[in-house]
Structure formats: C-alpha cells, structure tokens
A and B are shown apart, each in its own frame.
Chain A
Amino acid sequence: MSPQPKHQILVVDDNAINRMILNKILSDTYQVVTAENGQQALDICEKEKEHISLIILDVLMPVMDGYTCLAHLKEDSQLSTIPVIIAAQQDRETDEVKALSCGANDYVTKPYKPEIVLKRVENLIKLRENAALINMMEKDSLTGCLAKDYFYQKITALFSDPKGEPFNLAVADINNFKIVNDLYGTKNGDAVLKILTEILSQRSQLVGRLGADIFAFTVPQKDSYENEDFRSIVTELNGKLGLTLSISISFGIYKIHDTNVGISLMCDRARLAAKSIKGTYLSLFSIYDDRLRMKMLTEQRITESMETAIKEHQFVVYYQSKTNIRDNKLSGAEALVRWISPSYGFMSPGDFIPLFERNGFITKLDMYVWNQVAEDIATWIKEGKPVVPISVNVSRADFYLPNLPDIIAGIIKEHDIPVEYLHLEVTESAYMNNPHQIISQVTLLKRMGIAIEMDDFGTGYSSLNMLSELPIDYLKLDMNFIQKGLSTPKTRSIISFIISLAHWLNLVVIAEGIETLEQVNQLKEMDCTYAQGYYFSKPVPKDVFEQILLTWKIDASGQAEKLHEFPKEIICKKTGTDHPAILIIEDANIDKQVLAGMLEEEYQIFTANDGTEGYEALRKHKAEIVAVLCDFVMPVCDGMQFLTTIRQNPEFADLPVIITSQESENVAVRSLENGANDIISKPYCKEIVRSRVRNVILASKQ
C-alpha cells in the first residue's frame, strides 16, 4: 500500500528565520509551502486550494498583513473552509480573542512550542476531515457514539416507541481519566474512550457521550442489578487496552418510572449515583434513589447551618492524649473537633469534615479550632495547670491561604502562649496536591519555631521523597496502617523499617490508633516511643482533659520530643576540632545527611537549611569554614541568592563554594558566572564529592 500523501500546510511569515523554524517543526509530518506575505498566500491558495489543508498565518507582515489576508480568505466560499491558525507574539490577552473573532480557527503564540503547534495543527486537520464525513451535530467526533443533545432526542423518541423494550438509563464515569491522559498520553486516553464506546455499543441500543469521560447508555429494565452486570465491561476494556494501569469505572443507574422527568435530569441523577461510589472500589454501580437525595439534602442542611454553628460555639474541641509508651507519661495531645448541634445532636467529624473539605468551610473551622486551642492553653498556663504541646490539624485547603504563617503567628501572639505548645499536623495529601506551596509555608512556620507533624502517614502515597523535602519533626503513622500492619510479619517489618528510617531522619514517630496492649508491646519492640489511641484515652472534652493533665505524669520537659529536633547546625562528633570545616547548605534532610556522611571523615561539618541560615553560620564560624557546599534549589534563600550575597562581602569573596544541583547546563553556567568554584551534580558520588571539595580548597590556598 502506498503511504498516504502528506497534508500540505501553508506557512505565511515575512521572517525567513520563523519560516525555517516552522518548517523544521512541521516537515516530519506535513508538506510545508511558504509565503512571505498575505498577498503571496492568497495567490498560492487560489492555485492550490484543493491541496492546502491548513494555513499558519503571521499577523504583522509588509504588503498584506495577516488580518487582511484572513478577511479575503473568509470572503471566498471555497477558501473559507481551509482552517487558519494565527501565529503571533502574545502581547495582550485580547489578541487571541481578536484572531478568533476574525474567523481564525485557532491561535499559537511565539516563541513556538513544537508540541503545541503540532497538536493544534493535528486537531484542526482532524476536525475538518471529520466535519466533512459526518454530521457533527449527531455524532461525537472522537468516539462515533451519539453526541449529548442527539442522544437526548433519541432517548425521548424511544419512550414513545410502543414496540420498544423497557429500559433504564445508566452512565459510565471513568475514574481518574486525567491520570490515564497524564501517564499514557492523550492518544491512549482517546483509545480508552473509543474502546469503551465500542463495548457499550455491543450491549446497549443507544450510547451517548455526555462529557469528556462520561457516557450514557440504556440498560434492560430490572428490579435489581449485580456487580456482574457491569464487571465484564471493565474487564473487556482493560483486556483490550493492555495498559499497566487498570482502569476502573463507576456506573450509575437511574430507574425510569416516569418519563415526564426530563431526560437531562435523569442523566444528572444517574451521574450523581455514579459519583456517590467514586473511590469505593467494592461496588461497581449505584442506583439513584431517595437515600442519595436525602444525603444531598442533609448536606445542604449542614451547609446552611454551619455559619451559625461557628457563631454559637456549637463546635467543641476534644483532646486525645499522646503517651510516651516507655514510661506511660503524657507527652502531648491532639485537638479534635466535635459538633454538638441543637438540631442534629452530637456529630462526629466523619459526618461533616468531608463536606467542609469540599465546600471550603474547613478553613474557617480550622481557624476556629486553632484559636480555641490557643485560648485553652493560655488558660491552663494562667491557672498554673501543667501543660503539654497540643497539635492542631491544618487542612489541605488552609495552605492556599496566602498568609497562613501570619495567621498562626497572630493567634500565638494574641493568646500569648509559648510557641512550643502549639504543633501543626499536616497531611500527606496536602503535600501531594501542591508540594511547592507546602514546602515554603511549612519552612516559614518552622522558622517561627513551630513543630510540624505529618499526619496520616501510610494512608496515601507515603512518599519517601516527601519525608526528605518537608521539614517535619514528627511522623504520625496512620491507624489503619498500624492495625493492618501489626497483624502480619511482612507488614510488621515494613513498619519497623519506616520507624528506623524516621529515626535516621531525626523524626519522632507517633503511632496513631493504638487500641490493645499487644500493639503497644509490638511498638516498643520496634523502638517506637510515642502512641495515641483508645488504649490510652479516647478524645475527651476540655474539662476531662484537664483532669488528665492534673493526674497523669507528664513527660519531664512536657515536650520530650524536642530532644529530637533537627538542630540548625550539627558538628560531626567523629572529627576533632583541628580539622577544617565544611558548611553544607541544603533544604532536604536526606541530601544533607548523605553529603555529611561522605565528608565527615576529613572535615568538621556544619549544616544549614537555606541560604539565610547558611550566611549566619558562615559569619559565626568563619575561622573554621574552608568551603561551602550549597544546593541550587531551596525554598527560601536559594543557591544563587546565597552566592550573590557572600560574594559581595569581601571576607568571603574568595571562599570556595560548590553548587550542588540536579544536572542542568543552565544551572552550571549560571553558577560559574555568579562566582561558584565548581558544581557537583546529584545524585552524589562519594569519590567525586571528595575530590571536588579537596580541589577547590587546594586551589583557594594557592
């Protein structure tokens, strides 16, 4: 078979370099013809109109500019069907709007991004071809199933078909479809949609596409459905795709009793049913019923009353103690919130927290709790009661507050409590959503002296990378992880490993959800010192907790964990003071320790978490420090800022500095230009690190 002829693309730009670049980007896939201005372009189009599949048109050109050319093209009934992409430097947002309103089909900005140019060209050519083949209104161009509105029409027609089989309406909602696109590319994502359409079409009289990854289809009318009714769809889909990721689908069913309910509402309800089981992997489908509606109504009622609840102090802080299991002393507590509502009674967090997380109210509630806890601590101090550090939850959404550290600082100041009594618990999922934001916020909070606890470790991704990147002090192992983990030898050894790793990173481990003596003993064997759970105490209201404070023995300092806090500077013990010293500036604990380990035989080691701390350490120990190793990327004061700062100070103008970074040419060149003496790339190699450090020190002495 002869290969398909390449589509022809007309590139119109007065600038020779730009034409060459577009030619380079496109010529692998397309045949490219060029014109230097609008007039030339029109002449070529006249002659070649059957062959040109698309035009890429520059705006500013001599003789005839892009918009004039576009206007001529649109006036001609034949030429007007050729898709046009306007290429321009994006000076103003309105440029794109102007291009589209003048009849351009799409817009690309300069400098060109090859992937984007290719994708837009591909899309438009595909679109034009599909438009020619099928009626766009009836069919979904990608999958070939019915488009939404047409599907609605056909279903409505089925209702009035006297011979038709009775049916119900189902939707298939692909879970985490975005991940498929991210992991395997849109080509595979498209394949998922196409294959699913095929499979549904074999089983159903009508299939329509409601949204990006949501399909509606008819199912035979039955009283009840089984998982088996839907499992084969998913199995067949995954079998045909053969991706390493197994795709799951949530199905929702709307039972049709009354055809007067609009079809669009039926689809919405089926979608709602599907949505209600997202994330629960046991059931494949859910049937829309009044319970679902009730649940929505309840949520609505909660939403309506939540503001009042805060005003009327219906939210109450409970305290659950944390215990040192070596000596059974109280070492701290976690603040948990309960809702005691005059209308609904006592509500546990599971009833309202997930909703608040979705609707954003959680931030308000969290702040309320932080204030309440600070007030309680202040009261205990004032009344001369013993006090332990109390940890409060910081939800994912709180990190989107632009001034989170200021808010916390404000609360501490307002209630005038020592900073070490308020700990913050952050969750892994918060980090996963928005690592950079979290790292910089947490770093600022830590700098204020606030201890950070990583909550729920083990429930989500349990990323070791996160442990090294986030400057945390405590690791809370999640209760489910513990309960499952302690039951088999294999998972027990995983927990044991995590505990050792945490200790190596200078993190204190707190086991959550401890309910039995057996668990306590196992934790002791694993060298875990702190635990929290019903075995010790359930969450209790303030007055009961005050009794605990008065009667339990308190961990000597009231904050035993502080012993483990990673010091701002450590001096390695192995070396004598006559050794020269190296300063390592690095925000990630693991990297810091790895470097220190490689160098500690020959040098004293000082460490700092960022450029600002590094500069302080340098001024304090200038007599001993003979070289600095500084990370390029750090959240607060990064490698380049540090370099610039110290090179301005004559005292350190000649001090050898090595920049550490993941390999990148731009970093290397920038570093050397800014006065670095050498570069070490990550991951580190012991021999290279040692030899580079030795070399820069020797060179500086000459």
Chain B
Amino acid sequence: MNRYDLVKAGIDVNAALNRFGNDVDTYEQILSEFLKDPHYQEMTDAIKAGDCPSAFSAAHALRDIAGNLSLIDLYDALNPLVEALRKGCLEDAEQAFEPVPALYHKLVEAIQNQPKKVRNAWMNG
C-alpha cells in the first residue's frame, strides 16, 4: 500500500485502518470496491439532469461510504452538497458540486495507482 499517495489524495489512512482493526488487506480490498461503487456516477447524472431527489439519495449514499472509508476531503466536500440537495436547491447544489469531481478523480487515481498486489486482489476476487 502506498500510504503517501492515499493520504495526499485526502484519505485519513490511520483513522480508516482503526475502523478496520488495522487489517490492511481488508482495507485495501474495500478501498478498491470504492472504484466499483455506482453512487458517484448516479449523483453526477442526476445533478446534470436537474433531478434533486435522485441526486440526494446518491450523494447521501456516497457520503456514507466516504465517511466509513475516511475519504475525508471528499466527505467534507459532500456535506454542503447533501444539504443543498436535501433542500432541493439545484443552484446551491451545482455550486457545492463544483469541487467534487476533482476530489473524486484524485481518489480514483490514487487507488488505481496502488501497487499491483492490491489491484489483483480485487480483480481476481
């Protein structure tokens, strides 16, 4: 695991590992599950379509995962977005959404660029 890249991408690795009983393998495995999680895409599509209720449930679910995996930067950015969507205010939501893609892609990149062993673990499993 390349911790430096993960921390740089906005992950509180220590806090996350604490949640996984310091089991690095499981954490790596679940982290790679994040790449498959559909909620980011659902949220993005729904915001583009102006569909606040769908965007809310996707953003809420994404924040759930972000919190549990200690993706702190993404989690912080999702907070105002979830609140704007809850209120159904598309204008605020679009504004709150702005920083999210960059943070998300930074995470995806960092997770994808993890050493081979990690990627194989989920690709095979």
A interface residues, Cβ below 8 angstroms from B: 14-18, 20-21, 24-25, 28, 60, 89, 91, 110-114, 664-666, 669, 673
Closest to B61 in A: A15
B112 proximal to A (CB < 8 A): no
Residues of A within 8 A of B34 (CB): 17
B95: CB under 8 A from chain A?
Answer: no
**B75 cross-chain contacts in A, Cβ below 8 A:** 111
Q: How far is the CA of A25 from the CA of B68 in the complex (A)?
A: 12
Chain A min CB distance to B9 (Å): 10
Could you give 15 example pairs across A and B, Cβ below 8 Å?
A16-B33, A16-B37, A17-B69, A18-B68, A24-B21, A24-B26, A60-B61, A91-B83, A110-B64, A110-B68, A111-B70, A112-B19, A666-B7, A669-B7, A669-B8
Partner of B68, one of A60, A91, A112, A673: A112
* A664 to chain B: closest residue by CB: B14
Are B30 and A21 in contact, CB atoms less than 8 angstroms apart? Answer: yes
Judge whether A15 and B21 touch: CB under 8 Å. no
Complex Cα gap A112–B82 (Å): 19
Could you list which residues of chain B lie within 8 angstroms of chain A, going by C-beta atoms? 3-4, 7-8, 12-14, 18-21, 23, 26, 30, 33-34, 37, 57, 60-61, 63-65, 67-70, 75, 82-83, 86
Minimum C-beta distance from B66 to chain A (A): 8
- Interface SS of chain B: helix
Complex alpha-carbon distance, A15 and B36, angstroms:
12
> How far is A669 from B8 in the complex, measured between Cα atoms in Å?
7
Interchain CA distance A215-B4 in the complex, whole Å:
54
Establish whether residues A15 and B7, one from each chain, have CB atoms under 8 Å apart when the complex forms. no
| Contact indicator B57/A20 (Cβ below 8 Å) | no
A673-B18 contact given A24-B26, A89-B60, A665-B13, CB 8 Å threshold: no
With A60-B61, A89-B67 as known contacts, state yes or no: A665 contacts B3, CB within 8 Å.
Answer: yes
Closest chain B CB from A649 CB (angstroms):
25
Q: Chain A residues near B86: list those with CB within 8 A.
A: 91
A contact residues around B64 at 8 Å (CB):
15, 18, 89, 110
Hey, which chain B residues are within 8 Å of A112, CB to CB?
Answer: 19, 68
Bound Cα distance A224, B39 (Å): 74
Bound together, the chains give a CA A60 to CA B64 distance in angstroms of 11
Complex Cα distance A306/B108, Å? 66
CA A484 to CA B82, docked complex, whole Å = 64
Closest to A13 in B: B64
Distance (Å) between the CB of A662 and the closest chain B CB?
A: 13
- Residue contact B68 to A17, C-beta cutoff 8 Å: yes
Residues of A within 8 A of B26 (CB): 24
- The answer to whether B65 touches A15, judged by C-beta atoms less than 8 angstroms apart, is yes
- Cα–Cα, bound, A14→B38 (Å): 12
By a CB distance below 8 angstroms, the chain A residues around B82 are 91
Q: How far is the CB of A554 from chain B (nearest CB, A)?
A: 58
Q: Which one of A20, A21, A28, A111 has the greatest number of beta carbons of chain B within 10 Å?
A: A111
Find A665's partner among B14, B20, B69 (CB 8 Å cutoff).
B14
Asked if B33 and A666 sit within 8 Å, CB to CB, the answer is: no
B19–A666 touching, CB < 8 Å? no
Contact in complex: A114, B68 (CB < 8 Å): no
Contact residues in B for A666 (Cβ distance below 8 Å): 7, 12, 14
With a cutoff of 8 Å between Cβ atoms, the chain B residues found around residue A14 in the complex are 61
Apart from A24-B21, A112-B19, A665-B14: 7 A-B pairs, beta carbons within 8 A? A16-B37, A17-B30, A17-B33, A21-B19, A24-B19, A24-B20, A111-B19
How far apart are A57's CB and chain B's nearest CB, in angstroms? Answer: 14
**CB closest residue in chain A, given B34:** A17
